[in-house]
Amino acid sequence: MIADVLRATGEHVVIVVIAVGIAIILGIPLGIWCARRARAGRFALRIVDTIQTIPSLALFGFLIPVPLIGGIGMRTAIVALILYSLLPIVRNTLTGIRGVDPIVLDAGVAMGLTDRQLLREVELPLAMPTIVAGIRIATVIAIGVATIAAAIGGGGLGTLIFRGVSMVDTRMILAGALPAAALALIADVVLSFVERRIA
Amino acid sequence: MPSSVQFRSVSVEPILHDINLRIAAGEAVAFVGRSGAGKTTTLRLVNGLARPTSGEVAIDDVPLGSADLIQLRRRTGYIIQGSGLFPHRTVYENVATVPRLLGWPDPQTRAAAEELLAKLDLPLSRFGDRYPRSLSGGEQQRVGIARAMIAKPAVLLCDEPFGALDPIVRRDLQDAFRALRSGVTILFVTHDLAEALRITERIVLFDGGRVVADSPAAEFTSQPLPLVQKFVAAASLPA
Ligand SMILES: Nc1ncnc2c1ncn2[C@@H]1O[C@H](COP(=O)(O)OP(=O)(O)O)[C@@H](O)[C@H]1O
Ligand SMILES: [Mg+2]
């Protein structure tokens, strides 16, 4: 039992870390792009926003028949988690960049910083606390949604919960639910700490 | 080396109309006028933060349209109200920004920062590692001056840099600024006539996006033009 819980927890962490990691790699550039191009940015944000409103089990359902990324298993689960994690990261990157004091930006441009230097040296560092907040929200959401991923064979702590439900075994359910809740709490606390440190 | 600045029939519709000015290398000129008259826009034409809709701005007779704007900006200081300091960088890092962009060796940057900050009464040893938010408004503005002047710009653009400060601090900064003003062409926007008279030798009055008066500072107040007299009366200079 203990071994099962540990393995499931490990799987859960791996799924979430991979998904949030990829969402960061995709989401920050997308957020920067949205901040640069107002119209196209609004459109992109609307799409990401729409994905977020799809109920998670339905999203898994939609993905299963998609070739290459779909099917039953962990890969589909990770793709769905990436899609869910994207919104808070994209939106917070955008908000963080938009929130930089225009006088500070003006001063940067006036000193001869190139667009790229302005982004790297001024906009991103000043937006970073907001971006980290987005990553925190994305991580907490991903930990939650990942429990549902077990329904499509995604692995992780949801496996124990679903097995417990079908066997009417409360101990089994809790063996999945408690570590999942603990993971979400730990992620929230740790990333909140990072957020405050860099603010 | 200071540069000359030319405005040749410059318009920025609908804000500025047919501005013609020649500012000689090393001259210090004040742009005065009521709020909304077009002073800030005129100033921002010089470093390309605003673009003309017609006419051209030239520096040392080179039109901005054919200049490398990034390089030009690194040789053009810009001091603004509220200072615009990078809040995530220390005082020293702020002041070292343009030297870094220009690729100065560290010892040169440090020596220049040390000298300039000392003149501004902000010794590097005490202030260098502090962050802007821990400074008073007047101190922040001094750092802004140092940051704009460290790389010996050819042109210095000032947009009401002391506008938000209390009168005593303001007076101190005007004096500190005066002591530094040699060797650079200065365009200084202010709505404070006393400040214009103290800092510059030529005053240009803007109204409704046009230049309506342009004279040596000493003769400015004695011009009979109604717009000038109205501005002078409103300024209520100390006797
Ligand atoms: N980006 C802008 N777009 C449209 N109008 C502007 C913009 N910036 C300034 N203005 C307008 O242009 C006029 C001149 O502004 P400005 O150059 O800032 O004047 P001043 O510095 O003399 O107060 C004002 O009426 C202002 O509202
Ligand atoms: Mg102005």
pLDDT at B238 over 60: no
Q: Answer yes or no: is pLDDT of A70 > 80.
A: no
The count of other CB atoms within 10 Å of the CB of residue A115 is: 11
Instruction: Find the angle CA(B68)-CA(A100)-CA(A120) to the nearest 5 degrees.
Output: 55
Q: Are B134 and B82 in contact (CB under 8 A)?
A: no
- What pLDDT digit, counting tens, does each position of A145-186 carry? 999 988 888 888 999 899 999 998 999 999 999 999 999 999
Judge: A107–B73 Cβ closer than 8 Å, yes or no: no
Task: State residue B239's pLDDT score.
Answer: 46
Find out whether B21 and B55 touch, Cβ atoms under 8 Å.
Answer: no
Residues spanned by CATH 3.40.50.300 within chain B? 1-75+154-239
CA atoms lying within 13 Å on the CB side of residue A122: 25
User: Which of A179, A128, A139, A132 has its CA nearest to residue A19?
Assistant: A139
Ligand 2 centre from B159 Cα, in Å? Answer: 7
CATH of domain B1-75+154-239: 3.40.50.300
pLDDT digits (tens, 9 = 90+) for B47-59: 999 999 999 999 9
Residue A194 CB neighbour total at 10 angstroms: 15
pLDDT at B38: 94
Q: How far apart are CA A114 and CA B71, in angstroms?
A: 10
Nearest residue (CA) to ligand 1, atom 3: B15
Enumerate the residues of chain B whose CB falls inside 8 A of the CB of residue A125: 88
The nearest CA of chain B is from the CA of A9 a distance in Å of: 38
What is the mean predicted confidence (pLDDT) over A84-97? Answer: 93
**Closest CA relative to residue A190, chosen from A130, A136, A131:** A136
Q: Are B34 and A76 spatial neighbours (Cβ–Cβ below 8 Å)?
A: no
Give the ranges where chain A is alpha helix by DSSP (H): 2-36, 38-53, 56-63, 74-98, 102-110, 115-118, 124-149, 158-166, 170-198
Look at ligand 1, atom 21, and give the residue with the nearest C-alpha: B40
Q: How large is the average pLDDT for residues B191-215?
A: 91
Sheet containing strand B54-59, edge to edge, reads: B16-23, B5-12, B54-59, B62-63
Contact check, Cβ <8 Å, B49/A110: yes
| Domains in chain A: boundaries | 2-198
In whole angstroms, how far apart are CA A81 and each of A31, A72, A182, B71, B199? 18, 14, 19, 46, 62
Q: pLDDT digits over A112-158, tens only?
A: 999 999 999 999 999 999 999 999 999 999 999 999 988 888 888 99
A40/B123: higher pLDDT: B123
**Four-residue CA torsion sign, A64, A69, A72, A75:** negative
Q: CATH homologous superfamily for A2-198?
A: MetI-like (1.10.3720.10)
| Furthest-apart CA atoms within chain B: distance in Å | 54
List the single residue in B71, B76, B80 with the smallest CB-CB distance to A107.
Answer: B80
Interval between CA B189 and ligand 2 midpoint (Å): 7
Q: According to the model, what pLDDT value does residue B117 have?
A: 92
The reply to whether ligand 1 has any atom less than 6 angstroms from the CB of B15 is: yes
Neighbour-count burial for A53-78, b at 16+ CB within 10 Å, e otherwise? eeebeebbeebbeeeeebeeebebbb
Dihedral sign for Cα A95, A101, A105, A111, please: negative
Asked if the model's pLDDT at residue B12 lies above 80, the reply is yes
Residue pair B38/B209 in contact (Cβ under 8 Å)? The answer is yes
Interface test with B, best of A103, A111, A118 (most B CBs within 10 A): A111
